Amino acid sequence: LSGTRIIYDRKFLLECKNSPVARTPPCCLPQIPGVTSPAQPSLVKLGELKEQNESEETLPGEQPGPYIP
């Protein structure tokens, strides 16, 4: 392969971290809760309720099965 390799030094990269451009998300980014936008509390609560229901379904003295998301 041919081409120019661009090498950035540590100081430059640390300065870029505080740039307003670095803090603005791209305009066409899809909204994925917990990935590109903050996690929605309702989704988190649904997961907790599901785990709670699964743990209540196991009989006393019975080992719960492996967790499968």
State whether residue 45 is helix, strand or coil: helix
- Global confidence as pTM: 0.33
For residue 51, which phi and psi values (nearest 5 degrees)?
-65, -40
- pLDDT for position 52: 73
Q: Which position has the higher pLDDT, 29 or 9?
A: 9
pLDDT at 43 over 90: no
pLDDT, tens digit, 9 for 90 and up, residues 13-39: 999 988 888 888 788 888 888 887 777
| Distance from C-alpha of 60 to C-alpha of 63, rounded to nearest angstrom | 8
